Chain A
Amino acid sequence: MTVDQGVDITKNGDRGVLKRITREGEGTETPNQGCHVSVHYVGTLLDGTKFDSSRDRNEPFEFCLGKDGVIEAWKIGVPTMKKGEVCILTCAPEYAYGASGSPPKIPPNATLQFEIEMIDWRLEDLSPTKNKGILRHILEAGTGLDSPNDGALVTVELEGRLQGDSKIFDQRTVTFSLGEGTEHNICEGIERALEKFLKDEKSRLIIQPKYAFKSEGNSELGVPPNSVVEYVVKLNNFERAKDSWSMDGNEKLEQAKIFKEKGTNYFKQNKFQLAIKTYKRAVSFVDMMVTRMRKQKKLTEILLSVHLNLALVYLKVTPIHHFEAKDHATKALKFDENKVKGLFRRDQALLGLGEADLALKDFQKIIEIEPQNKVDFMNIYFSQAAANQIIVCRAAIEKQKRKEKQLYANMFDKFAKHDNEVTGSRSLYIHFSIACFFYFKLADPADFVVP
């Protein structure tokens, strides 16, 4: 066998990497950047000396195409291989270890030959927890170095089908803001993947239900619940949203306002999840912002209203997120501790969390504040609502107390019974005092009026 055998597969056509297939692979697919490839290989020098072989290790060699730094010849050669293919790559030193070689095994200026067997590859996993939720197979590589970011305006061509089904359920070209895809029936998986796309990239995405249409499915598109979907997506164009660190104070305030309004719109359309997302984005612009006094007022205004709105949205979503609602209301109250709306929402959340005592305190505060704000009709509404709520609270607390009292009373009976059986005045005394302690703590003095 001569050195020169094989097809030149270098871009420059300098015959630096020659490939000769000795066993054809199956299918037409080849791995691409980002794939985890597993191969067997035997590396020899031109005089036939074997310098390295995965077969000696008795385990396939695995690496990530494009990430782990394999030699240039492999970078070019391996992505051309089909599954099951065996080929021989002849690599000139410029595509291997160059003028200095890799002592002691590879001498300077050595041409290397690799016999490579492509065993298999795993597609690149783009899901955040690497649980194969979003797999990408690049069909056409993109250009440039930049990818869209959250909030970027993207234009994509997409074609969706259920896995293992040839019927296309979704085919269109659509422009939307990354992060607001649900508005356009675009699932989370595509959005997450797009953040890794380059311009003009065309890829096939295999998306698990968790990142697609979940257990609900999508009736509009005709996607049944819990289905794995497969999309071919091409990123035609995009415009990156400015990162918040690259904006100055005014821009940040401006952006926060825009997103706040967007969020309110979504809220009005009952699109609560989107509203939460956009409100949070609004917060992210200005949350860590430190400004001088002049802007401070504007900043507080925005944060106050966004947090208030978030609290409201969390109270509206199903299931109700009481805890988050309480959190955001508390944050809002930090800016204005007498904000009736905030107190009211926090109380509702607290009530939902079963903290009736705390809620009662806040409701009472609303009533206290109310007289000072007589002119404000909104507040009157709140204070009346609060008055109603106080009744609810009291009832809840009452109910809770009654329940506990019952509990301790039972305990008391039980102890007494137990003590009667085991005659021991000491233990009786102890149990009695425990039970009394709880009982008196809870009971009204009225309970002790002898009839």
Chain B
Amino acid sequence: MNESVNIVAIVSKLLDSEKYKEALSIPYDEEHIENFKENCWEIVSVIIKKIDGDTLTIKPSLYAACEQLLSIILERSTPEEALLVFIEQIELAKNDAQFSVSLTPLQQVLKKLSGKRGRSLEWCFNSIRTYIEGISIPDLNLEEKECLLLDSIPNFRRITKIYSMLPLFYDPFIDEIMKSSTDNTKAKEIVSVFLISLLGKPFIYFNVDPNLGAESEIRENCKIIVKDICKLEKNVLKLLVHVDVCYRESQNTKSNQKKDLNEEDPYTHRDKINITSLSGFFYAILSGHFEIPSYSVPQIFKKEYLIHSVMPCVIHLLSFTEYGPLAKAITLCKVLVNFLDNKTSDALLSSSVHFELCKSLVNVAIYSNYESIRKSAISLIEIHVNKFQYTGRCMLIKYLLDSSNHSGIIGYSITLYKNCVDEAFKEEVLSDCFTGPQLLSMIKKICLLPHGAQSDLMELADQIITALNFLRYLTLKDVNNLSGIRDCFTMIENDYLDPLRTGLNMSKAHYEEKLKEIEEGKSASEDQNNISVTVCGNLLDNIPTKNKKEIIYSALNAFHLIEGLVARLTECINLNKNCT
């Protein structure tokens, strides 16, 4: 009895004192054989614990000895037991070296268990995923070319390294599946589901864009993974049907019912196949950033079907705040939007994804931390809107006007509308949607002062300036009253320009007063400055007088500009009226 307690200690001691030969001879030692076999699982965990992150470089011989010992143990044990032991080791691994050293024996065990592979393979993949998910991903605020730096961030490096080990691990199983003549759909699905899950988190945070000048390291590994998925699944668009289901499930997280969960179908395992992993996957397939075997994307599906099926992925990726997913969303979105023909029928808009896309893009355009992303989002809004026929464009623009409460975006939407009108005027017959009541309702939306003359003109400046520009354009262009603009003049005059003039006078007076206050009584204003503003717990400094003045001047400037535009518009309206 006593000896058996010791054998673990003996091996441990020998390894510690660098007597590797002796350690390796123990399993072959006649007196220890039985003992060794009985305690091999304890020995496994002792051996693996010996390995640190730098063992391979500092003590290569220790590493080699450990590897060898593990393989000896493997030979002498039943595979079923060994499987569980090594799965445990993967999950408990304290560093990547331990993970790596456990991976090889695990693969050997799986190879031995060829008959009943399905479930055990799944367990192994699950534990690998658990290990990967344990590595945290910091948000580094890097954008565009700066992303190349990700390769040198420790945790990103670790994941890159693990991803590079994986193909070696699963390759033999893919080979086996491809060669086998019997039906092994289940095994095939298990492997491909795992591979797809690798393209979810943390993959989406990585930079894999080949157009940045240099290729990131992880890209190489992902290329292999993507290729392997194609090899297994053959027709990758089969997976489109899952997007819709996953997206809807992700939308109502409240009612987290797992009703139709089918244990037998790997595609229903939401820890692996979820909207995030599918988004990463379809980004890889459709973005053009990866080489996809030509056979794996059938040319049978309608493009509308593709767009509607994959768009939820874009919308999902746009809901992140990190650069990685956002950049992927933008790339994928560009591809999808370009699938649309010019002058696409607005019947397509019966699918709500187009509106949801607009909403997400607007959101990103306003709130994203990254300038390049904001700009791309804005330009995508324009490209997307302009892909439709005029009626469709009007629907989308109306949606933009109604759903956003940001003066800049509203101003931008008005410009989009103006451009549409301009384009429509070049055609022989002016489209219905720019005339009569439809025009009137649009103008009402455009010329909106939410609180009449008391609206905050400073905040609304963008919207007001573009609105005035648009009206000026239309009054000058449409001298023959094709659009029926002339019938709107009274409305514009009474409901918009009048309150606007009053508002301008009030605002100007108010700001000029403020300016005087600042210039005259600095001390007086300091007394009033007992308000402080905190953002995220940081106290914001009071605005220095110089900047205060700048703000007021810029506001006054804007008011003057608006005043000028109002005057010009009145002139144009009069001109137009006399044009008969």
Contact = CB atoms under 8 A, between A and B. Distances in A.
Contacts of A52: 294-295, 298-300
Contacts of A57: 234-235, 295-296
Interface in A322-372: none
B239 to A, nearest CB: 12
B295 A105 contact: no
B255 to A, nearest CB: 16
B18 interface: no
A53 to B, nearest CB: 7
- Using C-beta atoms within 8 Å of the partner chain, give the interface range for chain A: 20 to 34
A58 B234 contact: yes
A239 interface: no
Interface in B294-340: 294-296, 298-306, 308
A323 B299 CA distance: 56
Interface in A96-131: 97-100, 102, 105-106
A128 to B, nearest CB: 10
B341 interface: yes
Contact of B235 (A59, A97, A100): A59
Nearest to A73: B300
B513 to A, nearest CB: 53
Interface in A51-65: 51-54, 56-59, 61-63
B296 to A, nearest CB: 7
A70 interface: yes
Contacts of B308: 69
B341 A99 contact: yes
Interface string B439-463: 0000000000000000000000000
A71 interface: yes
Interface in B261-308: 294-296, 298-306, 308
B295 A59 contact: no
A72 interface: yes
Contact of A68 (B294, B299, B301, B303): B301
Contacts, number: 55
B462 to A, nearest CB: 35
Contact of B302 (A43, A51, A69, A100): A69
B341 A98 contact: yes
A406 to B, nearest CB: 43
B305 A68 contact: yes
A41 interface: yes
Interface string A401-435: 00000000000000000000000000000000000
Interface string A82-104: 00000000000000011110100
A70 B342 CA distance: 20
A57 B302 CA distance: 20
B300 A59 contact: no
A439 interface: no
Given A69-B304, A69-B305, A51 B234 contact: no
B168 to A, nearest CB: 26
Contact of A51 (B235, B240, B299, B341): B299
Given A61-B235, A68-B305, A74 B296 contact: no
A71 B300 CA distance: 6
Nearest to B234: A57
B563 to A, nearest CB: 47
B192 to A, nearest CB: 14
Contacts of A70: 300-302, 305
Interface string B67-89: 00000000000000000000000
Contacts of B294: 52, 105
Contact of A61 (B240, B296, B298): B298
Contacts of A74: 300
A321 B90 CA distance: 50
16 contacts: A43-B300, A51-B299, A53-B295, A54-B235, A54-B298, A57-B295, A59-B235, A61-B300, A68-B240, A68-B301, A70-B300, A71-B301, A100-B341, A100-B342, A102-B299, A102-B303
Interface of A: 41, 43, 51-54, 56-59, 61-63, 68-72, 74, 97-100, 102, 105-106
Give the top 10 A-B pairs by smallest Cβ distance, nearest first. A69-B305, A52-B299, A69-B302, A57-B234, A56-B295, A100-B341, A57-B295, A70-B300, A71-B302, A59-B234
Given A68-B240, A69-B305, 17 more contacts: A43-B299, A43-B300, A52-B299, A52-B300, A54-B298, A57-B295, A62-B238, A63-B300, A68-B241, A69-B302, A69-B308, A70-B305, A71-B301, A72-B302, A100-B342, A105-B299, A106-B299
